[in-house]
């Protein structure tokens, strides 16, 4: 029988996925401890009235600090936690050990679609930055024999505008490297709903379960920008760039050069066509309703809810 958890900790509730995870876990009857470096910060996904009326408790904790993690878990009494990737030299192993020592028996980890089903997570090369970083945390959880669910969502719908839209010029410009590369534009709300659901109810008794998540329609990058323009009504010029131009654009926006170099290679059409192959893609779309009970959010619905300014 699946295990039920009515007392949980959510690390990173101010994030676009973490906040929804906390809200969904509370909706499903759990007491939710909101673990934050700064407990006074606003939580965009949870309104003040929802926080006051729900079973939420703010606690101070830094996911990279094992002592603060252990103290937070002990004060909460929770047995299940939600975590996400943060840079650390040990793949968060010391913090995970602190959780285990404090009584945690189950973890939901926001991993990455860039780890493909056939990948051996211990053999992913370090130059494959995004899958490598996420794999290190999965490895740490395996080594500690902590039961966990690894959620592997694909292209966040927020990334398109967040990374590619240049508002410093008139008209605004969408900087596009590989216009033909496919993307699924999954809503972070859908990811958070799944995370909250499986945090409260562990889906299986397996030591490790991997759940891929995708948005309900594949489109090329150019087609995604067509949706943004149509739904927002904004005058946006799509500018196709060379790798050199795209590197200059992203690094100027604060993206570390090694990440940019990885993205240039990782977002080529032939690679993404393989990653979105069947039956993985269809299963990943179906997993949203399977685990959360909600229908997947279309990219049009997601954009209609956004304020581009």
How would you write the pLDDT of the chain (309 residues) with one tens digit per residue?
567 999 999 999 999 999 999 999 999 999 999 999 999 999 999 999 999 887 999 999 999 999 999 999 999 999 999 999 999 889 999 999 999 999 999 999 999 999 999 999 999 999 999 999 999 999 999 999 999 999 999 999 999 999 999 999 999 999 999 999 999 999 999 999 999 999 999 999 999 999 999 999 999 999 999 999 999 999 999 999 999 999 999 999 999 999 999 999 999 999 999 999 999 999 999 999 999 999 999 999 999 999 998
Tell me, yes or no, whether 238 and 167 share the same domain: yes
Structure tokens at 89: 């030299």
pTM over 0.85? The answer is yes
How confident is the model at residue 89, as a pLDDT? 86
Tell me, yes or no, whether 205 and 230 share the same domain: no
Ranges of beta strands (E only) in 101-229 are 106-110, 148-153, 165-166, 172-176, 182-183, 208-213, 219-220
How confident is the model at residue 2, as a pLDDT? 65
How confident is the model at residue 303, as a pLDDT? 97
Question: DSSP readout, 31-84?
Answer: EEEEEESSTTS--TTS-HHHHHHTTEEEEE--TT-HHHHHHHHHHHT-SEEEEE
Tell me, yes or no, whether 20 and 102 share the same domain: yes
CB 67 within 8 A of CB 98: yes
Q: How many residues does the chain have?
A: 309
CA distance 188 to 195: 10
CA distance 106 to 81: 7
Structure tokens at 166: 């240049």
Tell me, yes or no, whether 140 and 289 share the same domain: yes
Tell me, yes or no, whether 25 and 45 share the same domain: yes
Tell me, yes or no, whether 129 and 246 share the same domain: no
CB 147 within 8 A of CB 107: yes
In a domain, 132, yes or no: yes
Tell me, yes or no, whether 163 and 244 share the same domain: yes
Tell me, yes or no, whether 50 and 76 share the same domain: yes
Range of the domain at 165: 158-181+217-275
CA distance 196 to 183: 24
Tell me, yes or no, whether 134 and 93 share the same domain: yes
SS3 7: strand
CA distance 90 to 129: 15
Tell me, yes or no, whether 168 and 86 share the same domain: no
CB 126 within 8 A of CB 185: no
CB 241 within 8 A of CB 176: yes
Q: Please state the domain count of the chain.
A: 2
């Amino acid at each position: 029988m699946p295990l039920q958890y009515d007392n949980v900790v959510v690390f990173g509730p101010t994030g676009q996925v973490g906040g929804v995870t906390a809200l969904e876990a509370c909706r499903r009857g759990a007491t939710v401890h909101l673990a934050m470096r700064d407990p006074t910060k606003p939580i965009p996904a949870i309104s003040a009235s929802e926080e006051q009326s729900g079973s939420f408790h703010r606690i101070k904790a830094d996911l990279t600090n094992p002592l603060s993690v252990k103290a937070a878990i002990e004060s909460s009494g929770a047995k299940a936690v939600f975590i996400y990737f943060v840079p650390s030299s040990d793949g968060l192993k010391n913090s995970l050990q602190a959780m285990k020592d404090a009584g945690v028996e189950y973890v939901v980890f926001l991993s990455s679609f860039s780890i493909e089903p056939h990948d051996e997570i211990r053999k992913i090369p370090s130059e494959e930055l995004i899958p490598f970083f996420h794999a290190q945390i999965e490895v740490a959880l395996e080594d500690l024999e902590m039961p966990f669910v690894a959620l592997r969502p694909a292209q966040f719908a927020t990334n398109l505008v967040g990374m590619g839209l240049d508002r410093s010029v008139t008209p605004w410009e969408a900087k596009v490297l590989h216009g033909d590369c496919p993307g699924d534009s999954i809503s972070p709300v859908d990811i958070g709903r799944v995370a909250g659901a499986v945090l409260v109810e562990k889906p299986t008794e397996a030591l490790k379960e991997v759940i891929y998540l995708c948005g309900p329609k594949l489109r090329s990058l150019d087609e995604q920008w067509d949706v943004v323009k149509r739904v927002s009504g904004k005058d946006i010029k799509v500018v196709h760039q060379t790798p050199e131009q795209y590197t200059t654009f992203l690094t100027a926006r604060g993206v570390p050069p090694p990440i940019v170099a990885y993205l240039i290679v990782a977002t080529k059409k032939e690679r993404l066509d393989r990653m979105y192959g069947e039956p993985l893609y269809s299963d990943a779309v179906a997993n949203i309703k399977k685990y959360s009970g909600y229908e997947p959010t279309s990219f049009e619905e997601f954009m209609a809810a956004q304020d581009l300014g």
